[in-house]
Homo-oligomer: A and B are copies of this chain.
């Protein structure tokens, strides 16, 4: 989802990291679709980053900017230990090693934008989580992301590449259909009622979490591609800004935006299993470093809903 939106944004902008966009390599475990509006200068590659030589192959054209989004998501990395470590750790390391190999040959030193996650933090968590709070993840996914942050910083410190890590908030409203991710309801309770469909809310209104729209997330990645590394310093991963809001505040924004009828489509079905997971998540992050570097996110949930209506529903609610 994020890769697709990022690609569309890059094509629209026509430049990235201060350079014109004249060649784009899109790699995923299955060959990605050709992005709309781009007829030439794009390679579509099915690749297993962790496999021998694949990362080297992807870097053959020496891209100026590498966005590394690839990941087995949280639930899957928890269900399949070996797959998670292979994709999220070995894959990341293979990419960094391929850059190091290329660097030794011809001094190649690309900007590498690494997507990390608030999952690097594990309960108990203060509110907000300070910039200098330790990463003690409670999932394998969070562990793999935290290791990626450490590797990125060390390879950067040694001048082998020029990395920036961004710790993304939970993306809301995530487009598409409801899924079984524990975080799915944060999007679902807005996305479905906005088009007249029911949604299930498994947690109390008091649950507080850290959100940003898909549009903001793409902004974060694009901005990370052009940051001045000297201004970031050796602590190469930045906690991204977001909106700290309770479920109750989400629902109030829905009421103001789409009326009581939309709110009545939210069905409360408390689920202790989901609640047990969600209550270990970050309520808010201090993002003073990122804010100082010009990153911004939405200021209200009405704004997040408006972004969704503009980007996914053609600018207006149906009927």
Contacts and interface: CB of A to CB of B under 8 A. Distances in A.
Interface of A: 81, 100, 122, 132-138, 140, 143, 146-147, 150-151, 153-154, 157-158, 234-235
Q: Quickly give the copy total for this chain.
A: 2
A155 to B, nearest CB: 9
A138 B234 contact: yes
Contacts of A100: 81
A234 B136 contact: yes
A137 B122 contact: no
Given A147-B150, A150-B146, A154-B143, A136 B81 contact: no
A132 B137 CA distance: 13
A118 to B, nearest CB: 14
Contact of A150 (B133, B137, B153, B154): B137
B134 A150 contact: no
A239 B146 CA distance: 19
A163 B318 CA distance: 55
13 contacts: A122-B235, A134-B134, A135-B135, A135-B150, A136-B234, A137-B153, A138-B157, A138-B234, A140-B154, A143-B151, A147-B147, A147-B150, A147-B151
Given A81-B158, A158-B81, A143 B150 contact: yes
A191 B153 CA distance: 37
B132 A133 contact: yes
Given A81-B158, A158-B81, A235 B143 contact: no
A136 B158 CA distance: 14
Given A81-B158, A140-B154, A133 B135 contact: no
Contacts of A158: 81, 140
Contact of A134 (B122, B132, B138, B143): B132
Contacts of A147: 147, 150-151
Contacts of A151: 143, 147
Given A122-B234, A147-B147, A234-B122, A154 B137 contact: yes
A84 B122 CA distance: 29
Closest 4 CB pairs of A and B: A143-B154, A134-B134, A136-B235, A132-B134
A133 B129 CA distance: 11
A150 B122 CA distance: 12
